[in-house]
Amino acid sequence: MKNSSKTEQEVRHGLHASLVSIASNFALTICKCTVGLIGHSFALVADGIESLSDVLSSAVVYFGLRFAIKPPDKEHPYGHGKAEPVAAIVVALGMAAAAVVIAIESFNLIRTPHPLPRGYTLWVLLSVFAIKLVLARYVSSVAHNIDSTAVRGDAWHHLSDAITSLFAFIGISVALLTKNARADDWAALCASVVIFFNASRQIRTPLAEILDAAPPPEIEQHVRRVAASVPGVVGLEKCFVRKVGFQYYVDLHVIVNGNITVRSGHAISHRVEDRVLAEVDRVAKVLVHMEPEEELLNPSHSQM
């Protein structure tokens, strides 16, 4: 099927983006933690901890995507697409956990005297900031193209890492200018607040997906336009669309002339299904329910 093969191709882009995230975050984790420990900058170490959480979250996204693309089976007739928003929720929870760890350590270091951070840590942070912005832009574009909440969460992780690096840069700069090492720790604390806020925002979309919240209205409008254009369709009563992983499942109540035969109505329903599958991207299945026109005009008719 056209939509199925296209979705598989798109998911491969998501898997590639996740592998890029894993490799880059692992390299940055080692770099930032090593330079932060040697250069006496907990803000940079905190940045490294955030990158380590990114490694884990990107791995969750990668395996979540691989599981979500598995075809339907006897136990999962609607496929395994729900694994994708579950992975996104795990990513958001990982961001929140990293923020809490950074905040706790920041509080501890604010109360504990320690050496000033080294000046060369600033150059590392500038490099990390630039790299993370590029990664966030790349992964976000992939997430937009494949409409993946999990990959979008990965992009947010890159962006939060860039924000952490920016706070660390400001904190170290202030610490070096004022000769007050606590400025570095306050910067890490501020970064943890931003990361936690991003995590709370990020969890909403996948949670809504799991609860079968309606997708953006333009998708339903597109389905309605396509279905209404099929010959024999008098009108549309209901149209429900829900997102399962990377694809959409559509339930349609189509109004037809009540005097046509069952065979004719069945043929119309198949034409509606085929047209929607062919013209609306990422629609996996269409369930069409036929409504006779005169029954809808009967006041005693109760909709279920």
Do the Cβ atoms of 35 and 159 come closer than 8 Å? no
Instruction: Classify the phi-psi angles of 245: left when phi > 0, otherwise alpha if psi is within -120 to 50, otherwise beta.
Output: left
pLDDT for position 271: 92
Contacts of 281 (CB under 8 A, 6+ apart): 3, 6
pTM of the model: 0.67
pLDDT for position 190: 83
**Axis crossing angle, helix 121-146 with helix 149-178, rounded to the nearest 10:** 160
pLDDT for position 26: 87
Helix (H) / strand (E) element for 154: namely helix 149-178
Contacts of 263 (CB under 8 A, 6+ apart): none
Per-residue pLDDT tens for 25-56?
A: 888 888 888 888 888 776 677 677 767 777 87
**Block means of pLDDT (10 residues each) for the chain, length 304 residues?**
58 82 86 82 71 77 79 77 82 82 81 76 85 89 81 81 80 83 79 82 81 81 91 88 83 88 89 90 86 61 44
Each domain of the chain, given as residue ranges in start order, spans 2-210, 217-297
The CATH number that domain 217-297 falls under is 3.30.70.1350
Closest CA to 145 of 281, 286, 243: 281
Q: Place domain 2-210 in its CATH homologous superfamily.
A: Cation efflux protein transmembrane domain (1.20.1510.10)
Widest CA span in the chain = 87
